[in-house]
Amino acid sequence: MKLFIIGLDSAPPELLFHEFIDDLPNLKRLLSGSIMGPMKSCIPAITIPAWMCMATGKTPGELGLYGFRHRKKNSYRDIWIAHSLMVRERAVWDYLAEKGLKSFLLGIPPSYPPRKVNGWMVGCFITPDSSVNYTYPSSLKSEIEKVVGEYIFDVVFRKENRGEVRDRIWEMTEKRFEVVRHMIETKDWDLFWFVEIGLDRIHHAFWKYFDENHHLYEPNSSYKNVIRNYYRLLDREIGRTLKLLDEETAVMVVSDHGVKRMKGAFAVNQWLIQEGMLKASYENGRIVRFEQLEVDWKNTTAWAWGGYYARIFLNVRGRESRGVVSSSEYDMVRDEVAEAVKSIRGPDGEKWETRVYYPEEIYPVTNGDKPDMMVYFDNLYWRAAGTLGWESNYLLENDTGPDDAVHSEYGVFALHTPEMKGSRIVECSIYDVAPTILSLFGLSAEGLRGRSLIV
């Protein structure tokens, strides 16, 4: 048995399985002989930690990964950015290695710096640039560059020049698939798993030209078919790639989360100031990052980080250097902040479907630098803006650059094995992927959160 995994960052079931499927003949053929279904992502439904939840069968709490950045030891200012060396749980390729099976791993976040594996590893989108060593073994780097020249890890997608973004994403994806095909043919792998980040970038950069329900929709734009054409590009590249696999190779298609239109961004720290929970001043019309504020910590209860979801921290006595919330008050204060957050309404007074999660209630353990609460504003339709100085708490656009889309909770799962006939819908979660991969190789592991989807 060999397994080839196609990772499409942010592929939603609504587009891949339905709206675009008739434009995707290769994927349509593959899905017609697969078990498949929407796949519920982890909380938070973002790239890091989601891919590692998928690969390890562990929660963000067990991984100690709650997003791209984390506080250092409850500091107000110091942070660390997620990287591969912070992943200490075993991934499926570690279990396979114990049986002598080899893996080729390309672009699975976070995979920089590259780690030693029984096989090969190529860094993901967090790799700084191609001047660093981004492969294991290091000799693999020169082999990649002989195939495609300078390798592209990611693109700057939050910029006004959308034409440049589009062209760069096309180039990145075509190069990635060239590398994938070269490695399929030249390496003796048992598991081949790659992730294409371009789909996520296309969604974020071009959603308002595609979705008529987007509040910034631009009809008749020259970019209106960019998303659909990118799916066609993916399908062509996947079709060329699948031709290189033998009939005994199973194929899996997965995404870490889905995507949907962004309704706007909510300036959460401005709101916390207005509610008296954060003591700091800002000047309307002068946009500043939270880190630039002079905060009166002795009178501050809570502050937040922005992103697709908000992380809210309490200022806890004995934990933060100038904390004010005592341990005996912690639960009460946190509940009060959470209730206030859930009562926030939209710019026109409309009720929001805001969700607040306490890490210790949704994870079996909470390692590392966890937030006190995680917030999905209006079920993720509204981003959290960490910046201040806006005339309104409700922003039409993302505060960190043009971005038309937000994440949704459901990505995709599909699995075709040589003996499968016809398709079957399955209900699944991101935690089912690792047990399913192991079971395909006749392996199992203790303590994984999901179940094998192979019956």
> Distances from the Cα of 51 to the Cαs of 125, 137, 161, 314, 330, in angstroms?
12, 22, 29, 28, 32
CA distance 124 to 151: 11
Q: What band does 147 get if pLDDT is binned at 50, 70 and 90? A: very high
A 10 A CB-CB count for 142 gives 9
Residue type present at position 176? R
- Would you say 134 and 127 are in contact if contact means Cβ atoms under 8 Å apart? yes
Tokens representing residue 28 in the block: 């349509």
> Distances from the Cα of 172 to the Cαs of 87, 343, 364, in angstroms?
26, 43, 38
* Main-chain phi, psi angles of 17, to 5 degrees: -90, -20
Tokens representing residue 330 in the block: 């912690």
Residue type present at position 56? T
Give pLDDT, residue 405.
Answer: 97
pLDDT in tens, 30-75: 999 999 999 999 999 999 999 999 999 999 999 999 999 999 999 9
Q: What is the mean pLDDT of residues 420-437?
A: 96
pLDDT in tens, 260-298: 999 999 999 999 999 999 999 999 999 999 999 999 999
Q: Is the pLDDT of residue 408 over 90?
A: yes
Q: What is the mean pLDDT of residues 296-301?
A: 98
Q: Residue holding tokens 């003796």?
A: 188
- What end-to-end distance do the CA atoms of the chain give, in Å? 16
Q: What is the mean pLDDT of residues 424-430?
A: 96
Give pLDDT, residue 177.
Answer: 98
pLDDT in tens, 226-263: 999 999 999 999 999 999 999 999 999 999 999 999 99
Give pLDDT, residue 257.
Answer: 98
Residue type present at position 29? R
* pLDDT more than 70, % of the chain: 100
pLDDT in tens, 148-164: 999 999 999 999 999 99
Q: What share of the chain is helix, strand, coil (3-state, %, to 5)?
A: 30, 20, 45
Give pLDDT, residue 372.
Answer: 98
Q: What is the mean pLDDT of residues 340-346?
A: 98
Q: What band does 421 get if pLDDT is binned at 50, 70 and 90? A: confident
Give pLDDT, residue 449.
Answer: 96
Q: What is the mean pLDDT of residues 112-129?
A: 97
User: CA-based diameter of the chain, in Å?
Assistant: 66
Pairing of strands 373-376, 310-314: antiparallel
Which DSSP state fits 325?
B
Sign of the torsion angle spanned by Cα atoms 407, 207, 157, 175: positive
CA distance 358 to 66: 12
Q: Is the pLDDT of residue 455 over 90?
A: no
Runs of H (alpha helix) within 215-368: 226-242, 268-274, 330-342, 359-362
Q: What band does 210 get if pLDDT is binned at 50, 70 and 90? A: very high
Taking the model in full, what pTM does it have? Answer: 0.97
Give pLDDT, residue 357.
Answer: 98
